[in-house]
Structure 1
Amino acid sequence: MVSILIGLAIGFGLPIQTSINSRLKDAFGSPFWSSLISFAIGTVGLAGVVLVQGERLIPTLATISSLPWWLWLGGIFGVIYLTSNILLFPQLGAVQTVIFPVLGQILMGLLIDNGGWFDTARNPLTTMRVIGALLVIAGVLITVALPGYFARRKDVGVPVTKPNPALWLWRGWGIIAGMLSASQTAVNGHLGVVLGSAQQSAFISFAIGTVALFVIVLILHPHITFNETRNEHRWWMWIGGLIGACFVLGNAYLAPTIGTGLAVVIVLLGLMAGSLAIDQFGWLGAKRNPVTALQLIGLLVMILGVACIRLL
């Protein structure tokens, strides 16, 4: 039960982090700079946690050389996922940018559990787990896609556009990005088990991600500007990285505890609940968009899917 609550909490915080980082992006005029600053703050926060626990920040060279090379890819996977969402949004729109990565996350989570990939404990794929995963996907579609679909059906005189085959390349990349996100959860979870510390694993993942983002920023947007007048800046726009750090730390704990597949869907349920709460109450300066009955039904379908995976 504690693991489920942790998963729901870190998932709930993810859209809050997105809203906070959007304000940071407005201040610096670049999504890459806002991501770098967020990662850097999260890295510092995790470093403090590790040091307070009396642990080493970096494993010894002997430990590093004795471990598989893929154990150090969690931070890279996270950066690819984050950057992919930035690139997918203008190509696919908000709805598809959510749906296709979610499909990849659930698919990869079940494959990792079934095959014991990344040295995780095997959790064979049963009929009920497949049904649960399909219910979660259906819940996402109901919550995210159907409201917009019915709204468009009400519009009259809207020109019909021809489908663009190239969009399937972006959709395919969205699925791959989601699969990398689930892989990050598994990799960081196993790294935490090997090192005996989920905190150290999360710090290493964040630190590697920060370095990778720094390289990206140097290549794509090397000049930084801070716009003091664009929006009213709040103190909370600097804490997105700490929320992200809790997300990575929570996943590093959850993956070896309840399995990657279940961790992914529980966090996803929390994410959807957090997104609906932001829309309903207009938190952090977001525009209020009242939750509909259809969206609540979608959330209930997701809960039923989680129950099928977890309990049956």
Structure 2
Amino acid sequence: MLLLTFPVAMGIGLAMQTAVNAKLRGFIGSPYLSSGFSFLIAWLFLLILSGVTHQPLLISGAVMTHGPGWLWLGGLFGAIALTGNVVLFQKIGSLQTTVLPIMGQIIMSVVIDQFGLFHSPTNTLTLSKIIGLLLIVGGVVLSLGIFAPRDPLLKAATSKPERSSQLFYQLFAVLAGMLMAMQTAINGYLGTVLKSPLHAAFISFSIGVLCLILVNLVTRARLANLKLALQQGPRYWWIWFGGVIGALYVLCSSWLVPLIGTGQVVVLALFGQLVFSALVEHFGLFGSQVTRLSRAKIIGLIIMFMGVLIVKMLTF
């Protein structure tokens, strides 16, 4: 029973990581620099852990030449999703930054299972999955208040370009979730090829770090801005731990799946992520903007979680 609390804690950690990285971005001023620094911290953490456990750091030429080209895309997809979440947190809030990627993640995971993409085991679409997907979409609609009546004054104050921008960020959030699902499948196969989940995580984060270094060089991010974050002192000590949280999530997933199964890990982690992201937004934790939870949002989150539960754990 105690083991089941770990996936919930992992989900809480994911919601916390998004808020922490968004706050770091607020001090640094660049989502690319904050994501790059977060990835670098995670990479250093995995490097130390690999050294302590005597894991290899390099990969053989045979794996490089004979492995499929998409085997190295996990780190890139992770870097895009993390950077996107940092931007999305400030644009659409904590709850939407959690809910919409989860919808994309579930939809893409069903597609991966259906067609056996990335050498994943084939798991065909069933009636239960269709019902679960419909519940997830319905839960998202309720939690975001898409069809709720709007205040005429508020609607008038929101210009058409602003509404279009909001829609763009929401669609990108769904895409980020899809990339996260693909990253999980790719890293899972990479762990099988390398015969070590820790080695696979280290390689994936290494690729992500290299991608973000290139992006920061192209965008000419100012490393001097890191001093602004350092000057915040002990009050904001937690802004440096987003990368460690992300690395722990990857490692704990690799540890727990063989013990309690993928379905339970995913469902319990998403439960923790949904609940804590709602609390972050409701109470304005980690310096986020306060947006009170409504009854419709709570009902929508419950329906969405029921849909996730059906998709991942029930078959009929």
Task: Tell me whether the two structures share a fold, i.e. TM-score over 0.5.
Answer: yes
- C-alpha distance in 2 between matches for 1:255 and 1:129: 21
1:227 has 2:228 as partner: yes
Decide whether the 8 Å contact of 1:251 with 1:263 is kept in 2: yes
Match of 1:247 among 239, 249, 263: 249
The 1:6/1:201 distance shift into structure 2, 3 A limit, reads farther
> SS of 2:150's equivalent?
helix
Decide whether the 8 Å contact of 1:186 with 1:252 is kept in 2: no
Alpha-carbon displacement from aligned partner over 1:252-300 (angstroms, at most 9, x marks no partner): 56778855x8866654433211201223444334455444433332232
1:74 corresponds to which letter in structure 2?
G
1:8 has 2:8 as partner: yes
Pairwise CA distance, 1:121: 1.2
Describe how 1:1-312 pairs up with structure 2 within 5 A: 5-85=5-85, 93-94=92-93, 100-143=100-143, 145-146=144-145, 150=148, 153-154=150-151, 156=153, 158-159=155-156, 161-162=159-160, 173-224=172-223, 225=225, 226-227=227-228, 233-252=235-254, 258=261, 267-309=269-311, 310-312=313-315
Q: Which range moved further: 43-52 or 289-298?
A: 289-298
- C-alpha distance in 1 between matches for 2:170 and 2:297: 23
Decide whether the 8 Å contact of 1:280 with 1:291 is kept in 2: yes
Pairwise CA distance, 1:140: 3.1
The 1:234/1:86 distance shift into structure 2, 3 A limit, reads closer
Alpha-carbon displacement from aligned partner over 1:108-164 (angstroms, at most 9, x marks no partner): 110111111111112121010121122223223333x12x875x7245474275587
Pairwise CA distance, 1:2: 8.3
> SS of 1:183's equivalent?
helix
The 1:65/1:282 distance shift into structure 2, 3 A limit, reads same
2:245 corresponds to which letter in structure 1?
I
- C-alpha distance in 2 between matches for 1:208 and 1:79: 9
**C-alpha RMSD over aligned residues:** 3.4
Alpha-carbon displacement from aligned partner over 1:149-191 (angstroms, at most 9, x marks no partner): 75x7245474275587798776655443332221001101111
- C-alpha distance in 1 between matches for 2:171 and 2:17: 26
- C-alpha distance in 2 between matches for 1:182 and 1:277: 25
Q: Which range moved further: 127-136 or 92-101?
A: 92-101
Please give the TM-score of this superposition, normalised by the length of structure 2: 0.81
- C-alpha distance in 2 between matches for 1:89 and 1:16: 11
Decide whether the 8 Å contact of 2:104 with 2:174 is kept in 1: yes
Decide whether the 8 Å contact of 2:282 with 2:290 is kept in 1: yes
Decide whether the 8 Å contact of 1:188 with 1:252 is kept in 2: no
The 1:227/1:166 distance shift into structure 2, 3 A limit, reads closer
> What is the count of residue pairs matched by the alignment?
307
Pairwise CA distance, 1:245: 1.0
> SS of 1:54's equivalent?
coil
1:190 corresponds to which letter in structure 2?
Y
- C-alpha distance in 2 between matches for 1:277 and 1:172: 23
- C-alpha distance in 2 between matches for 1:277 and 1:6: 19
> SS of 2:122's equivalent?
coil
Pairwise CA distance, 1:100: 4.9
- C-alpha distance in 1 between matches for 2:127 and 2:255: 27
Decide whether the 8 Å contact of 1:266 with 1:306 is kept in 2: no
1:178 corresponds to which letter in structure 2?
G
Pairwise CA distance, 1:103: 3.5
Please give the TM-score of this superposition, normalised by the length of structure 1: 0.82
Decide whether the 8 Å contact of 2:42 with 2:247 is kept in 1: yes
Structure 1 unaligned residues grouped into runs of 5+: none
Decide whether the 8 Å contact of 1:113 with 1:120 is kept in 2: yes
Decide whether the 8 Å contact of 1:79 with 1:209 is kept in 2: yes
- C-alpha distance in 1 between matches for 2:134 and 2:3: 22
Percent identity of paired positions between Structure 1 and Structure 2:
36
The 1:112/1:6 distance shift into structure 2, 3 A limit, reads farther
> SS of 1:153's equivalent?
coil
Pairwise CA distance, 1:23: 2.5
Pairwise CA distance, 1:215: 0.5
